[in-house]
Chain A
Amino acid sequence: DADVTQTPRNRITKTGKRIMLECSQTKGHDRMYWYRQDPGLGLQLIYYSFDVKDINKGEISDGYSVSRQAQAKFSLSLESAIPNQTALYFCATSDAGSLLPQHFGDGTRLSIL
Chain B
Amino acid sequence: AQTVTQSQPEMSVQEAETVTLSCTYDTSESDYYLFWYKQPPSRQMILVIRQEAYKQQNATENRFSVNFQKAAKSFSLKISDSQLGDAAMYFCAYKTSQGGSEKLVFGKGTKLTVNP
Contact = CB atoms under 8 A, between A and B. Distances in A.
A12 to B, nearest CB: 17
Interface stretch (B64-72, B77-85, B103-111): B103-111
B56 interface: no
Contact of B109 (A40, A44, A102): A40
B47 A42 contact: no
B44 A105 contact: yes
A81 to B, nearest CB: 21
Contacts of A88: 43
A42 B102 contact: no
Given A92-B45, A99-B95, A106-B42, A42 B109 contact: yes
A107 B44 CA distance: 7
A43 interface: yes
Main secondary structure of the interface of B (DSSP, over half): strand
In which size bucket is the chain A interface?
20 to 34
B112 to A, nearest CB: 15
Contacts of A59: 103
Contacts of A100: 33, 35, 47, 50, 95, 102, 104
Contacts of B43: 88, 106-107
A33 interface: yes
Interface string A41-52: 111110010000
A90 interface: yes
A99 B50 CA distance: 10
A97 to B, nearest CB: 13
Interface of B: 4, 33, 35, 37, 42-47, 50, 91, 93, 95, 102-109
6 contacts: A33-B102, A99-B95, A100-B33, A100-B47, A101-B47, A104-B44
Interface of A: 33, 40-45, 48, 56, 58-59, 88, 90, 92, 99-102, 104-107
